[in-house]
Structure 1
Amino acid sequence: MNPAHPYISNVLGYTTLFASADLIQQSVLGGKPAAGSTSEDSTVIDWCQTARVATVGFCFHANFNYHWLRGLERMLPGGGVNAVTGKVVVDQLIAAPLTISAFYIGLSFLENKEDLFEDWRQKFWTSYKVHVILMARLNFALVPPVARTVFLGGIALAFTIFLCHLRQQRDHKLE
């Protein structure tokens, strides 16, 4: 990341991570088989789906997380036990529900789904539980403030792969 332009670097990096997560999810965890293919090794990438995931990452997640982490550090500075505990609690009570909701509702909006909240209602709690375990504990306890946005982006890659995969589960069961 370019320290001279941290906002731009973080937003573009985060958007790339979201697009990469969807591509990994499609190619490794469950892309659609190519037409006429009998092998699961031959999948077709849904580039429109990847563009939608990248759009949600760019329009909401990248911007929100950049500003959220900076604000959280100003509100609860330092790495002591009390500061870290406070950051984890506030992050999990405010940011986690917002970002998970934005993911599901944003994608449903971009897909022009009639019920924008269907995926959210079905998958929010599972996603939230995984988020609590994966994201919060590591980010504030082990990573210095200057590296948190980048680190969060890396963890977000893994979590977004999980979200993309979980979101596609209903679609594949209907086929």
Structure 2
Amino acid sequence: MEADGLVPQLQVWLNRHEAGVTVVNGGVSGDTTAGGAARIDWSLSPDIGAVMIALGGNDMLRGLAPSEAKSNLTKIVAAVQGAGLPVLLIGMQAPGNYGAEYKAEFEGLYAELAEDYGTLYEPQFLGALGQVPAEALVWMQSDGVHPNEEGVLRIVEALGPRVLELAEMAASKE
């Protein structure tokens, strides 16, 4: 159900913590970093106060070059910061089946961007689900790629404090 997704559940979590913010879903299911880069300029409407970037998983699933994802994410972060908005960059993990070099390059690009641009950074989107794939499977849908309702709740609990930090940064800029 849509209400069980990340954005609605994050909104519930933020409301419980009296954050006083509204989460706007700028994501598109199945999207890559290229899609996000193409949309970012018109997505930064006046009602947006901060941006959480959780893109790259579909790039990785398609085996796209990490350098391509990094270039696209760089465009997104630069556009958001160019609009004077704080950024929370969420890293993605690559499975080992792409090889150690791909995995290291893909996972490392997030930390590099966060450091280069001074963004808030959370290293692992799925980190709350377990450190090894076998641990995470219980929190995943049958496709083994997307978190189930309980998995989303665990992710929200893990990301929530970072999103609160992002909201506080946005409020201090007002």
Which TM-score applies when normalising by structure 1? 0.40
Which TM-score applies when normalising by structure 2? 0.40
Bigger relative contact order, structure 1 or 2, given CA contacts below 8 A and separation 6+?
1
Q: Whose helix fraction is larger, Structure 1's or Structure 2's?
A: 1
Rg comparison, structure with higher value = 1
